[in-house]
Structure 1
Amino acid sequence: MSDRAAQLVERTLPTEEAGELIALVREIAQREIVPRAAEEEDAGHFPRSTFTLLSESGLLGLPYDAEYGGGEQPYEVYLQVLEELAAARLTVGLGVSVHSLACHALAGYGTKEQRAEQLPAMLGGGLLGAYCLSEPSSGSDAASLRTRAVRDGDDWVITGTKAWITHGGIADFHTVFARSGGEGARGITAFLVPGGAEGLVPAAPERKMGLKGSPTAQLNFDGVRVPDRHRIGDEGQGFAIALAALDAGRLGIAACAIGVAQAALDEALSYAAGRRQFGRPIADFQGLRFMLADMGTRVEAGRALYLAAARLRDAGRPYSRQAAMAKLFCTDAAMSVTTDAVQVLGGYGYTADFPVERLMREAKVLQIVEGTNQIQRMVIARHLLGPETGTG
């Protein structure tokens, strides 16, 4: 892999502290994550010890308030941390993004008492979260979810099945969206469910194309009882909470995608400079140079797009459209760049001896999670054109 440290000076970072933070993350990644990434992914090993280290280093709560143990960093900085982690190993970068997503509801909509009681452990206490919105029959159409929450005195009883849950079966807490009222978006409420809750039963992890080290599983809620003090926000507010979290989460996926793409570009550049054919490095051939130039342009453009959206968020301005655009462009760019990286390496790129084939397999899932890229196009079009008229 080429020297990523040299690229740090090219970043536009808001403070000197932010530059030091990114340098620290890069050091941890190169020392603790990269050396074991390929072996552990191949074995399907989840690196819980790495997440413990990240928590101890204050890296699992970066965008949240310092009052509750967070790092109080701008999203612009937090996303660049995600990019560095994903470049080292997507299981780690995506895991941090999902954990942040799971904390979002309580941090943004919980009462002061709830935040004081729960957030410190979630942000810096070594815990790991899961975000439970999707179901077997409601993925893109999240408002049609069927998991039910029924009031029983001072408790709620949750029954149903959640699907495609990252950290399913290993999470210490879950942000769960369940139907507490009528049909549609207004009948959904958010809850905080601990990992050891009675009646919470994980299914066997999914067998996936990539991200084998990151467990993805269905979660069955068989009469899981939680107290009303674990309800987040008002009854019926859950879908709005979920959408707000997804806007932020889409930026996390965009940053992870650029990390994967940057790692693939680094490998392709290194290989092209060292591989000789016809008496000279293959990097001398115009066809390959143009391919690498396009790959580099996609990476830089994607980074600029997700950072622009992050700066809107940091300024308190609307950013839903830009988040969808960043998620769409960055994940499509990652798929294109990783595919081209395999091509640059030729036959070697198709083998597991080099990381680009793994990066290509991992890039694919980023076009699917946090709303498929087809859904992102629908979101963007609605912002540009308004809702569909429904007329022929």
Structure 2
Amino acid sequence: MQITWTQEQRERREKFRRFGAEQVAPGAAERDRSGTFHSDSWKALADEGFWTAHVPVEHGGEGGSLWDFLAGLEGLALGADDSGFVLTAVAHAGLVHVLLEHGTTEQKARLLPPLMSGAVGATAATEPTGGSHVAAVHTRATVHDGGRWLLSGDKSHITNAPVADILLVVGRLDGIGKRDITLFVVDRGMTGVSTGEPEDLLGQRTSPTGPIHLRNVPVTEANIVGPAGDGLTTLYSFLAFDRLMYGIVVASQLEALLPATIARTSSRQAFGTAIGNHEYVQDKVVAMRTTVEASRHLAYAAADALIRRDSSYNALASCAKLAASEGGVTSALELVQIFGHSGYDRTQGVERRLRDAVAIRIAGGTTEMQKKNIYKDVVERFATQGS
């Protein structure tokens, strides 16, 4: 499948590439060391209209397509040099996507304007007792009185949680039968909502991640996103969108590293010639480029399937995530190898790429979960053809 950006989309991509390079990239290494989220850049990103591209005009957006938003995301990832900041944007974009696809008119009118203007969103599925098995949630909304429930539970390792203003919470709803998993949207300021301190992570250190605590939070039907009891279907739609964005982000981040990589292979000498003349080194660069193209175009294919409502969407998104996460770690390892000792030196910034890459094998569903999703799709599509 071939995707051709329009002139307007190319301009948007370049606009946010420049924004990332000029606004986000400066100081990225220092923020990584201190584990600091760049809140000023987050507000500036919103002020530049990053979130408005595909939001309907009636809710304050520009009324464009999903491709318009993805063009901006690709540009931001190309220029930012701050993987954690971009990861925070991916998590935020997932909440916006859920509201656009499944929110009520009232929810869109109430929540989309702040989410487009600088508020931070988070989606909370993972709990202390489980990660990728999102159906095994214990958070529960118990009946309180007519039309009201009290939501209680704990979420862990939630991207954006320490700074989030609006939270989408996966829980169970009493009184509707066995099919009870439901999505609830709550504000940080609601009674009973609290978040913990940011976690001290190996990589993606500029993306604040931590726990959420819910203690008898009063919720009503106005807090339920999508049909009650249909939360898993809605959540899987969000996760697939999350995964295709990882494909675009990893591809862009690796592409941004190729100029410095080629400069290194051209200038570093070994055995009387530039190391780029050695086939083993060439193979490392080739693997990086292959990951760029595979991740990006699988993500494009998943986005195309999403827009067309094609059933291949979920599996293609998992393919994009798998290519990006596994290829990203391999490429980051090879990048350290190409740069040698300076690649291992924390003051040079190369090792940061490896630390950040490891997280992508876990975030948005582990590598093992992506393989499970892909295998299930293969069986469903092709098992009968061999009989």
TM over 0.5: yes
Identity percentage over the alignment? 30
Query: What is the one-letter code of the residue matched to 1:273?
Result: S
Shift of 1:186: 2.0
- Distance in 2 (alpha carbons) for counterparts of 1:313 and 1:234: 20
Q: Distance in 2 between matches of 1:354 and 1:63?
A: 38
CA offsets, 1:5-30, max 9 Å, x none?
xxxxxx95331100100110111111
1:354 to 344, 348, 358: 348
Match of 1:213 among 176, 193, 206: 206
- Letter of the 1:175 partner, please give it: L
Which stretch shows the higher mean deviation, 355-364 or 222-231? 222-231
> How big is the shift at 1:149?
0.8
Asked whether 1:151 is paired with 2:143, we answer: yes
Once the 2 structures are TM-superposed, how far is the Cα of residue 279 of structure 1 from its aligned partner?
4.5
Partners of 1:333 and 1:295 lie apart in 2 by 7
1:300 to 264, 285, 293: 293
The equivalent position to 1:267 in structure 2, one of 245, 260, 265, is: 260
With over 3 angstroms needed to count, the CA separation of the structure-2 counterparts of 1:291 and 1:125, relative to structure 1, is closer
The runs of 4+ residues in structure 1 deviating greater than 4 Å are 182-185
Deviation at 1:195, TM superposition (A): 1.4
- The answer to whether structure 1 residue 367 and structure 2 residue 365 are counterparts is no
**What is the aligned counterpart of 1:175 among 168, 171, 182?**
168
Instruction: Return the match for 1:91 from 64, 84, 87.
Output: 84
> Could you say what secondary structure the match of 1:164 adopts?
strand
| 1:186–1:237 CA contact under 8 A, matched in 2 | yes
> Cα gap change, 1:364/1:185 in structure 2, threshold over 3 Å: closer, same or farther?
farther
Task: Show the counterpart of 1:7.
Answer: none
Q: For structure 1, which segment, 197-206 or 360-369, has the greater mean C-alpha deviation from structure 2 after superposition? A: 197-206
Provide, for residues 252-308 of structure 1, a one-character-per-residue CA deviation record: whole Å limited to 9, x for no partner. 122222233223433322221232344543222232123212221221222121112
C-alpha separation in 1, matches of 2:175 and 2:256:
47
Segment of structure 1 superposing worse, 320-329 or 268-277: 268-277
Shift of 1:243: 1.0
8 A contact 1:264–1:338 mirrored in 2: no
Which residue of structure 2 lines up, in the alignment, with residue 339 of structure 1? 333
| 1:27 matches 2:23 | no
The question of whether the paired residues in 1 share the 8 Å contact of 2:20 and 2:77 is answered with no
**Map 1:220-299 → 2, pairs under 5 A:** 220-299=213-292
Q: Which sections of structure 2, spanning at least 5 residues, go unmatched?
A: none
Aligned residue type for 1:151: V
Structure 2 CA distance for partners of 1:192 and 1:287, relative to 1, 3 Å: same
Q: Distance in 1 between the 2:348 and 2:225 partners?
A: 45
Provide the secondary structure at the position in 2 that maps to 1:144: coil
- The answer to whether the 8 Å contact 1:175/1:193 transfers is yes
Q: Equivalent residue for 1:48? A: 39
Deviations 1:101-132 (A, max 9, x none): 1223322222222222222222x221110001
Per-residue displacement from partner, 1:186-207 (whole Å, max 9, x unpaired)? Answer: 2111111001222212122222
What root-mean-square deviation, in Å, do the aligned CA atoms of Structure 1 and Structure 2 show?
2.2
Letter in 2 for 1:366: I
In the aligned structure 2, how far is the partner of 1:186 from the partner of 1:267?
52
The residue type paired with residue 353 of structure 1 is T
**Residue 204 of structure 1 corresponds to which residue in structure 2?**
197
Contact kept in structure 2, 1:91 and 1:211, CA below 8 Å: yes
Instruction: Say yes or no: does 1:110 pair with 2:103.
Output: yes
CA deviations 1:110-168 (Å, max 9, x no partner) are 2222222222222x221110001111113121111000112323432111101111111
Which has the larger displacement, 244-253 or 277-286? 277-286
1:6 corresponding residue in structure 2? none
Of 290-299 and 179-188, the range deviating more from structure 2? 179-188
Q: How many residues align?
A: 377
* 1:68 and 1:115 in contact (8 A); partners too: yes
Moved more, 109-118 or 234-243: 109-118
**Residue among 105, 120, 134 paired with 1:142:** 134
Q: Which residue of 1 aligns with 2:316?
A: 322
User: What SS does structure 1 have at the residue aligned with 2:305?
Assistant: helix
Q: Retained in 1: the 8 A contact 2:173–2:181?
A: yes
Q: Which amino acid is the alignment partner of residue 274 of structure 1?
A: S
Amino acid at match of 1:308: A
> Distance in 2 between the 1:184 and 1:330 partners?
39
- Cα distance in 2 for residues equivalent to 1:351 and 1:378: 37
Q: Which amino acid is the alignment partner of residue 59 of structure 2?
A: Y
In the superposition, relative to structure 1, how do residues 357 and 182 fare at CA in structure 2: closer, same or farther (>3 Å)?
A: farther
Residues 1:382 and 2:373 are matched in the alignment: no
One-letter code of the match for 2:317? A
SS of 1:193's partner is strand
Question: How much has 1:72 moved relative to structure 2?
Answer: 4.0
Contact 1:60–1:96 (Cα < 8 Å) also in 2: no
Tell me: CA distance 1:114–1:241, structure 2 relative to 1, closer, same or farther (3 Å): same
Moved more, 38-47 or 309-318: 309-318
Higher mean C-alpha deviation, range 157-166 or range 349-358: 349-358
Instruction: Structure 1: give runs of 5+ residues left out of the alignment.
Output: 1-10
Q: Residue type of the partner of 1:346?
A: G
CA deviations 1:37-91 (Å, max 9, x no partner) are 1111111110111111111111124343233233444434433433333342111
TM-score w.r.t. the length of structure 2 is 0.91
- TM-score between both structures, scaled by the size of structure 1: 0.90
